[in-house]
Structure 1
Amino acid sequence: MLDVSRKQVMAYRIAEHGLHRGAGDPLALAVFDLGLQDSMRDTALLGLAARSAGPVVPTTLAEDPRLTLVWSHRGAPHFHRRADLPELVASLVPLDEADALARILWQQKELAQTGLSAVDVLFTTARALRKVVTKTMSKGAASTAVTKLLPDSFSYACRGCQATHVYEQLMRVAALHGGVRLEADQSPATLAPLEDRGRVSTRADPAAASRVLERYLRLNGPAAQGDAAGFAGTAKSVLKQTWPADLAEVRVDGRRAFLPADRLAALENPPTPSLVRLLPPWDPFTQARDKSVLVPDKAYAKEVWKILGSPGALLVDGELLGTWRAKATGKRLALTISPFTPLQRAHRTAAEDEAALVATARGYDTHTVVWA
């Protein structure tokens, strides 16, 4: 069994994530194999800017006809290649009750109130969404209309909205099955029917689900089974049916983990990550589930993954060494970079260069950088 260090793992992942900025079509980046998450303002756009050799501007993702924005893994919004959608939808069909229950984030108590199986709850909601979303409409309007079509047990009293509506996670995981996508760059969230959407399919595809796990391990490996299950948003027990073949078992500083066997050579000799990047909140790199590998220091980890108001992360030569935030003030974008330890002048200069790319991607002609 191969033993590797945490440093090797970090270098391997940086390369797999395209953070060395190789030339070529950005859509060929491996991160699009799983989708580029867009949970906060411009996070997907800034994630692309951290990986793209060419210019990234506010319309780069939204106006690319090869991409579409949907609620996918864990019900989070992701940009996916349109060509990948059929397999993506198949991979998200629950394999069994445990899988469906985990995906909608319900407990047995909520499920018992419906008198249905978790799979039936999911696809009943998907069919209702399909009936409602026949044109572009706000998420709020869609939620209101869907709630009226569903049994009362599918809804809850929302304090924030001061209204009763369908469970948020249930609506999110059902949307793609119902042929519903998101409009990019719209706030509040806006839904629309997928072009050429087919019939609602309840047929599970273990092979498609397995490929999601394999791609996670390829991008964020070596990793444990629980890490892969956490990304997919499913129960660990489900992995017995979908755990990929042709995996190699390795040890990362003594911890058991897995990687596609054809990536062992790349793991043993990854390119040296001599680079500086400003990664946005929810970037695919920091979305890896084994946070102790990414940031071993618990105090630093709390700064990178805050419960509320997550900052971006400062990547320096293979380590996450700080955080950053951006605030718009009129026509200027103000960035504050907070390193955990003093940085070399060359690293600070490189970070300021990255700040300029962030400003361009956000559509600001001027910006300032403050070192905290």
Structure 2
Amino acid sequence: MSGLLHLSREQVLGHRRRVGALDERLGPGRGSLRRAAWAGLTDSVPRAALLSIHARVRETSPTTWADESLVQVWGPRFSTYVVPEQDRAVFTLGRHPVDPARRRFAEDLADRLEEVLAGRRLPYRDAGRALGMHPSQLRYAATTGRVLVRWEGAGPPHVWTVPRPGTDPAEARLELARRYLRVLAPGTPEGFERWAGLRRGQGTPVFDALGDLVPVESPSGRAWVLAEDEEGLREPRAEPSSVRLLPSGDAYLLLWGVDRELLVPDPDRRAALWTSRVWPGAVLVDGEVVGTWRRSAHRVAVTSWTPLPAGHRRAVEAEAAALPLPDLEREITVTW
């Protein structure tokens, strides 16, 4: 490992925006979709995954989230995620229990679910009823990599089973940690546990096994980055000039504790972004979160924390108008 690397707030956030494709949108295509979903796309709020893709990939349409290269799973923290099919093992087996008893429970549940479904897709309520359990418990089978879901945003998700990925769970967990460190570096074992929804104490062995880490000191404290990202973190960042409407749960916002303080230093503004209930989206202008937004049908309500120049207001309104939302009967309008 190299010596201690000192990073500024600007270097950290600049790195996260660059690797997260938030400074400049990627061209259309499945390679871009995979990069946009490198840390998974939470879809717990209807079509949040689609809006996260739109923030990163040009020519995103209302159906892009359903591209054949993408699947829906119960991922970290058992939230609904859209992930690349080729990375399904990372976001499922990467969270497979370490404890033998918990692992057996997950595997047995997947076996029982597969038997009940018999090749069918069922609403998860019906599947849970057939197994004599609350449907939310089916999420525990997701860590086997054998369960896919389809959630349209209205009504219960449908579930079905698929063959288990051929990846070793330990290798999948290492890759999951690399995804966390790539997109949200600098990171810590504790931060990885919370982000991935792992039990306390499971992050340290994973970080120890990675071996390709560089220690850093940032305003958030002592942490780690991938060695392959060290050179890029040292480079000065160009001034960002993008405007993005990031949805609730976007990868750039999945932060806790000191990482939230780094992104949004003001405590009142943090409380407005990470509320005790459903989080709003974040308005990102020139590399800074400058407010929040919520949508109801065709109406987008933007709350700006400081007065925005007219040019920035027009850019925010243009970004809102371009949201690739399905089934809108009217053009999107923005209120401030």
* TM-score above 0.5: yes
**Structure 2 vs 1, CA of residues 323 and 218 (structure 1 numbering), >3 Å: closer, same or farther?**
same
Q: CA deviation at 1:198?
A: 4.1
| Residue 71 (structure 2) pairs with residue 68 (structure 1) | yes
Larger displacement relative to structure 2 (66-75 or 39-48): 66-75
Residue of structure 1 aligned with 2:11, choices 8, 16, 29 = 8
What SS is found at the alignment partner of 1:61? helix
232, 235, 244: which one aligns with 1:266: 232
Matched, 1:287 2:271: no
Larger radius of gyration: 1
Tell me which residue corresponds to 1:124: 108
Among candidates 325, 329, 335, match of residue 361 of structure 1: 325
Counterpart for residue 106 of structure 1 = none
**Identity %, equivalent residues:** 29
The Cα of 1:235 is off from its aligned counterpart by 2.6
1:140 corresponds in structure 2 to: 125
Structure 1 residue aligned with 2:211: 245
Equivalent pair of 2:293/2:300 in contact (CA under 8 Å) = yes
Superposed CA offset, 1:134-188 (max 9, x none): 31211111111122xxxxxxxxxxxxxxxxx4372x4213135272211242532
The whole-number CA distance in structure 2 between the counterparts of 1:254 and 1:91 is 26
Q: Residue 17 in 1 paired to residue 20 in 2? A: yes
State how far apart, in whole Å, the 2-side matches of 1:357 and 1:234 are. 37
**CA distance in structure 2 between the partners assigned to 1:90 and 1:186 by the alignment:** 25
1:234 corresponds to: 198
Q: How far apart are the structure 1 equivalents of 2:303 and 2:98?
A: 44
User: Which residue pairs with 2:293 in the alignment?
Assistant: 324
**Residue 80 (1) aligns with residue 48 (2):** no
Cα separation, 2, equivalents of 1:137 and 1:247: 44
Distance 1:293 1:34 in 2: 20
* Structure 1 residues 353 and 198, CA gap change in structure 2 (3 angstroms): same
Give me the CA root mean square deviation: 2.2
Residue deviations 1:301-322 (CA, integer Å, cap 9, x gap): 1111112132111111111110
* TM-score, scaled to structure 1: 0.81
Residue 36 of structure 1 aligns with an amino acid whose one-letter code is L
Helix, strand or coil for the counterpart of 1:193? Answer: strand
Q: CA deviation at 1:263?
A: 0.7
Q: Map 1:1-372 to 2 at 5 A.
A: 1-19=4-22, 20-25=24-29, 27-28=31-32, 29-54=34-59, 56-62=60-66, 64-96=67-99, 117-134=101-118, 135-147=120-132, 165-166=133-134, 168=136, 170-175=137-142, 177=144, 179-185=146-152, 187-195=154-162, 197-198=163-164, 205-243=169-207, 244-253=210-219, 255-269=221-235, 270-289=237-256, 290-328=259-297, 333-358=298-323, 360-364=324-328, 365-371=330-336
CA distance in 2, matches of 1:240, 1:301: 28
Letter in 1 for 2:192: A
* TM-score relative to the length of structure 2: 0.89
Contact 2:48 2:250 in 1 (8 A): yes
Find the aligned partners of 2:306 and 2:232 in 1 and give their Cα distance: 30
The verdict on how the C-alpha distance between 1:178 and 1:222 changes in structure 2, with shifts beyond 3 A counting, is closer
- Given that 1:95 and 1:205 are in contact with CA atoms closer than 8 Å, whether structure 2 keeps it comes out as no
Q: Which string of whole-angstrom CA distances, capped at 9 and with x for unpartnered residues, describes residues 203-236 of structure 1?
A: 9632221110111011110122211111111134
Q: Give the secondary-structure state (helix, strand or coil) at the position aligned to 1:118.
A: helix
Q: How far off is 1:353 after superposition?
A: 0.9
Please say if residues 129 and 135 of structure 2, whose CA atoms lie closer than 8 Å, have aligned partners that are also in contact.
no
Counterparts of 1:220 and 1:26, CA distance in 2 = 22
Corresponding residue SS for 2:82: strand
Distance in 2 between residues matched to 1:254 and 1:367, nearest whole Å: 38
8 Å contact from structure 2 (residues 94, 169) kept in 1: yes
Separation (CA, whole Å) in 2 of partners of 1:186 and 1:276: 26
Contact 1:90 1:205 in 2 (8 A): yes
